[in-house]
Amino acid sequence: MKTIRLSTLIGALVIAAPAFAGDPGVTDDTIEVGSILPLQSGLSAGASQYRDGIDAYLKWVNKNGGVNGRKIIVHFENDSYNPQQAVAAAKKLVDRDGVFAIVGTLGTTNTVAMIPHLANRGVPLIGPLGSHPSINTPTERIVFPISPLGTSHGISLAKYAAEELGAKTLAVFYQDDQYGKEILQGVEEYAEENGLEVVGEASYVPSDVDVSAQALSLRDTNPDAVVMAVIPKHGALFMLEAQKLGWDAKFLAPQLMSDKVSLDLGGSALNGLIINLYSAHETMDTEAVAEAKEAMAEFAPDTAPGYWPFMGMSGAKLFVTALRNVEGEPTREKLMDALEALGTYDSGIIPPVTYAPEKHAGPTVFGYAEVIDGEKGEVKVLKHWAD
Amino acid sequence: MNWLPLLLSGLAVGSIYALIGLSLVIINKATHVVNFAQGEIGMFGTFIALSVLSATGLPVFVVLVLSFPIGFLIGALLEIVFIKPVASGPPLNVLIVTLGLFFMFNSLAGIIWGFDPYRFPALFPTAPIAVGGAAVSPTSLGIIVITLLVMAALYVFFEHTRYGTAMRAASMNPFAARLMGIRVGVVATVSWGLAAGLSVMSGILIAPLTFVDQQMMLAIILKGFAGAILGGFASLPGAAIGCLLLGVMEAFVGAYVDNTIKDSFAFVLIIVVLMVRPQGLFTKALKRKV
């Protein structure tokens, strides 16, 4: 009889277990999430600041009571900007550590590589920063982007050149990959629709050690403005070449070109560079920026507030905002429902994102700023994205 | 487009390839292997030079001069600690050790200095100067002049000094060289030192143009190797000319044809040259008597 009773009890527990068990990573007082970043790679400077932004914001949330009584614990993994390592890190976090969601990835190929595994497990990916349609206009429901489409960058920069600088002719210096080509495509689209002429295009590959030929060839096309679709190292190299040539065209680039690494490398050659803003600038006088800076000052005092920490923080903020709206026990499905209920949402530290059941899209509007003194790291905001 | 700045820019980059190419040939002559770690030794030495600059505030030209003995010490130590113990084994063993050294230096640099690029102080004025009606970068001219001076010094060393002659003898016939009283083991150590010194100098010369980071020499070692093969791996002058030629061809193909094909163009051309003239463009074929 005892055996029958025990068997019945075990059977009842097995049947009832799903009703009591929450999704992985959730306990009564904590929620564990993961973040996969290229902490040992050419992007490590940005990645470590990105990590500090996520970490500082979540610690700040925890200090202020957590989310519905639960503290958020974040586990960081390095993927070395390597797709294989990224997949391995995703498997470790999801299958072994059992995290609830991934909050923050950085880089295109590594993020694209891990998406199928996360989708297969139904794990939300909030705040991936990269330039690829599967990141910025995802078909997988789990992906919630924070960065604009590459073509939007190109359009925003060409538009500023035409409307604010009066440019009629443009040249484009771009990285010969998805990131650079999308920006180039955006510039070409805008130029065609608005009667501008793209008079020169020159590319580089990341292994190039010399971009003087590209600078010479583009200068010879005599454009009114030059749009750069570059990473900091090659953008700085190009601007230094332009400075050597005494080339006085207007130069424009994505916000990446005003981060600390770019300013350190380019120095005064970056003076006058126009950048589009898809994250807040630390000099902006808004409540969200003040809050972000407060969190950074308290929990990551060695990292200056700016582009990278703010981008990292934006994903963490979207996660926390949606999680607060989840009713009852948090599950991954409920979290994705809550994210999709945000609609067009302005976190204040990046331009508004749009999350709805039929559409997950990063920002489509931009602010603008100008590098005033590259040697001193002085950047002036010209226009907020809300203006 | 004015061809003169392009030519000088190509010659400057080719000069960097030449310093690396020469260092590869020197080691190959002494130990009959290709040192895959040559570029990483240059990168590591450049980071050391940058640290010395930051810590001491010495003039950058003093650091450039010091870079040769710094590199020499690194290379000689590597030969004594890692290469000598395996030198008597099959050549593949030494090759694998150089691959291991590549990864060791690459990782070590990342651990010590991080993975970000750093700006290196300019060796020459940055403002262009007018030459033949064209604006020419003094940096390009400076790199070319320094490289030519280094090549001349190498020529004098190998052709007109007793030790240089001994090194050539040891590379041609180690057995006979030993019988003549030449310490062949020491020659190998000196060759590694010499090659590493050249690599660090090349790193410091290119650093103001390309910044200092853990990846800075990856493309350069490949091009230096390819240029040396193009000119002739058995000859120091041949290797140097091959590297200069490669730098110039890259610049012109990148500017006038398509930048995206300049890397593949260089290597396709080298394959063609090897098919037609396996010994390289500027060396005579070795004939073996049977």
Identify the residue among A207, A210, A257 best suited for mutation to test binding to B, counting B beta carbons within 10 A and taking the highest.
A210
Mean pLDDT of A96-104: 97
B85, two tokens: 């113990």
Which of A205, A210, A265 shows the shortest C-beta gap to B13? A210
pLDDT above 70 covers what percent of chain B?
Answer: 96
The structural domains of chain A, ordered by start, are 30-148+284-356 (3.40.50.2300), 150-277+367-383 (3.40.50.2300)
Contact B209 A208 (CB under 8 A): no
- Kindly report the backbone phi and psi dihedral angles of residue B96, in degrees, each rounded to the nearest multiple of 5, phi listed first: -65, -35
How far apart, in Å, are the Cα atoms of A94 and each of A13, A97, A124, A283? 25, 6, 11, 38
**Quick one: which of A118, A77, A72, A127 has its CA closest to A95?**
A118
Whether the pLDDT of residue A21 is over 80: the answer is no
Query: For residue B286, what pLDDT is reported?
Result: 54
Q: What is the pLDDT of residues A50-77, one digit of tens each?
A: 999 999 999 999 999 999 999 999 999 9
- Of the pLDDT bands very low, low, confident and very high (cuts 50, 70, 90), residue A152 is very high
Whether the pLDDT of residue A237 is over 70: the answer is yes
Query: For residue A16, what pLDDT is reported?
Result: 44
Which of A42, A202, A210 shows the shortest C-beta gap to B209? A210
- Of the pLDDT bands very low, low, confident and very high (cuts 50, 70, 90), residue B287 is low
Query: For residue A15, what pLDDT is reported?
Result: 46
Indicate the pairing of strand A353-356 with strand A143-144.
unpaired
Examine the predicted complex and report whether its ipTM is higher than 0.85. no
Euclidean distance between the first and the last CA atom of chain B, given in angstroms as a whole number? 55
Query: For residue A3, what pLDDT is reported?
Result: 53
- Of the pLDDT bands very low, low, confident and very high (cuts 50, 70, 90), residue A110 is very high
- Of the pLDDT bands very low, low, confident and very high (cuts 50, 70, 90), residue B5 is confident
Residues 6 or more apart whose CB falls under 8 angstroms from that of A11 comprise none
Contact B220 A204 (CB under 8 A): no
Q: Could you tell me which residues of chain B have a Cβ less than 8 Å from any Cβ in chain A?
A: 1-2, 5-6, 9, 12-13, 16, 110, 114-119, 126-128, 135, 137, 206, 209-211, 213-216, 218-220, 251, 254-255, 259-260, 263
Residue in chain A closest to B107 (alpha carbons) equals A40
Query: For residue A14, what pLDDT is reported?
Result: 47
Return d(Cα B250, Cα B12) in angstroms, integer. 12
- Of the pLDDT bands very low, low, confident and very high (cuts 50, 70, 90), residue B182 is confident
Min Cα separation B83/chain A (Å):
29
A187, A199 in Cβ contact below 8 A? no
Return d(Cα A261, Cα A258) in angstroms, integer. 8
A278, A366 in Cβ contact below 8 A? yes
Query: For residue A2, what pLDDT is reported?
Result: 54
- Kindly report the backbone phi and psi dihedral angles of residue A251, in degrees, each rounded to the nearest multiple of 5, phi listed first: -115, 140
Contact B219 A261 (CB under 8 A): no
Mean pLDDT of B125-139: 76
Contact B259 A214 (CB under 8 A): yes
Query: For residue B274, what pLDDT is reported?
Result: 82
Whether the pLDDT of residue B1 is over 60: the answer is no
Q: What is the pLDDT of residues B145-156, one digit of tens each?
A: 999 999 999 999
Return d(Cα B54, Cα B34) in angstroms, integer. 33
Q: Which residues of B touch A237 (CB under 8 A)?
A: 209-211
**Quick one: which of A155, A149, A148 has its CA closest to A192?**
A155
Alpha helices by DSSP H, A220-286: 232-245, 260-266
Query: For residue A18, what pLDDT is reported?
Result: 43
Return d(Cα B164, Cα B170) in angstroms, integer. 10
Mean pLDDT of B213-225: 89
Inter-residue long-range contacts of B177-186, CB under 8 Å, 24+ positions, other chains counted: B185/B84
Contact A205 B263 (CB under 8 A): yes
Query: For residue A49, what pLDDT is reported?
Result: 92
Segment (H or E) for A78 = strand A71-78
Mean pLDDT of A229-249: 90
Contact A205 B260 (CB under 8 A): yes
Contact A44 B2 (CB under 8 A): no
Which of B6, B118, B216 shows the shortest C-beta gap to A216? B6
Query: Which residue would you say has higher pLDDT here, A20 or A65?
Result: A65
Among A residues 231-250, those touching chain B with beta carbons less than 8 Å apart: 232-233, 236-237, 240, 243-246
Query: For residue A223, what pLDDT is reported?
Result: 97
Query: For residue B282, what pLDDT is reported?
Result: 78
- Of the pLDDT bands very low, low, confident and very high (cuts 50, 70, 90), residue A17 is very low
Among A residues 9-48, those touching chain B with beta carbons less than 8 Å apart: 40-45
